[in-house]
Amino acid sequence: MLSLPTLAQDTLPKAKSIFWEVKGPGVKKPTYLFGTHHLHDYGFINQNKIILDKLKKADIVAGEILIEASNMMKVAMASVMPNKRLNQLMSEKDYKATDECLRKYMGTGVQLFSSFKPIAIYQMIMLKKYAKTLNMNLEKTGNSSMDEYFQRSARNLNKKLIALETVEDQIKVLYDGKPLDKQVDLLLEMVYDKDSLASQEIVKLNRMYKQQDLDGLHKLMQKTASEDELKTLLVERNKKWIPKIEELLKSGKSAFIAVGAGHLPGKSGVLHLLREKGYTISPLKIKL
């Protein structure tokens, strides 16, 4: 097995890997943690035999949520404002600018999106804008992500598939975590290209991911997000996941867990939290 020596706790985040093996007392079969990145081509997975091998041998595959039709319908419904329209939340000037931005990146005007929450429109434009920045071909990937790739593979392999949180939990964070006025502010930063720095940061993030530099990823997230945002998006969710991950570790079965790479590093990251509980965390060598 291609693995690097287990590192001391204080140097653990500096290990260059997005793929980790977890062992320890009471663990009969190792569990594997894979850090995904929603805006990165996942073609490299098929070029790394060790990833496919661990995935095929795993008894259980876990993700943040289950990516399935019923859950995606819940997400779609959560992205809509039942009693508001976008033009009620912003000035005529901002509404017109939003229309122009949507025509540029989405190919259609604001009218089609008028009942969507500003954060949902922000996410749509962000994906298109960053894909252009990174020269990604979304038509080629079908807008699918690494997370969806692993879950689709699990179903094809007839693996038991579980989620670390409910889709309702994730909706609260992604769509209801900010009041509508704050969502509008965020959207307008995207519309008026005030996020140009963010576009640069996503290029840095992609580079660090390709280098498997979790420590660098963690520092970049600390630089680009507020403490409250990190607490909501990462810290609180990580803590809730640990008991569920421990259940998998002590189940007597091998699990393959794929979650966003941002959840792995830092003192509040999944790797550190598991190590604090006495588990042995070892980076596995892969090529991106």
For the stretch 249-269, pLDDT in tens is 999 999 999 999 999 999 999
Residue 60's SS3 state is strand
* Per-residue pLDDT band at 10 (split at 50, 70, 90): very low
Is the pLDDT confidence value at 103 over 80?
yes
Is 167 a domain residue?
yes
Is 271 a domain residue?
no
Mean pLDDT value of segment 69-90:
94
CA distance 7 to 107: 49
Please state, in angstroms and as integers, the Cα–Cα distance from residue 170 to each residue in 74, 126, 149, 166, 237, following that order: 11, 19, 19, 7, 9
Is 184 a domain residue?
yes
Is 65 a domain residue?
yes
Copy the structure tokens of residue 174. Answer: 């992604």
Is 9 a domain residue?
no
For the stretch 137-167, pLDDT in tens is 554 444 468 999 999 999 999 999 999 999 9
What percentage of the chain exceeds 70 in pLDDT? 89
Is the pLDDT confidence value at 4 over 50?
no
Is 14 a domain residue?
no
Copy the structure tokens of residue 184. Answer: 């509008």
For the stretch 34-65, pLDDT in tens is 999 987 888 899 999 999 999 999 999 999 99
Report pTM. Answer: 0.88
Is 282 a domain residue?
no
Identity of the residue numbered 273: L
Copy the structure tokens of residue 169. Answer: 């939990």
Among residues 245, 269, 264, 274, which one has the least CA distance to residue 37? 264
Among residues 51, 42, 61, which one has the least CA distance to residue 1? 51
For the stretch 207-245, pLDDT in tens is 899 999 999 999 988 887 888 889 999 999 999 999 999
Is 18 a domain residue?
no
Identity of the residue numbered 81: M
What percentage of the chain exceeds 90 in pLDDT? 69
Q: Which domain holds residue 38?
A: 33-265
Pair type for strands 255-260 and 280-283: unpaired
* Sheet of 160-163, strand order: 160-163, 60-63, 255-260, 31-36, 19-23, 280-283
Domains identified in the chain, total number: 1
Q: What's the chain's length in residues?
A: 288
Please state, in angstroms and as integers, the Cα–Cα distance from residue 155 to each residue in 151, 160, 253, following that order: 6, 8, 17
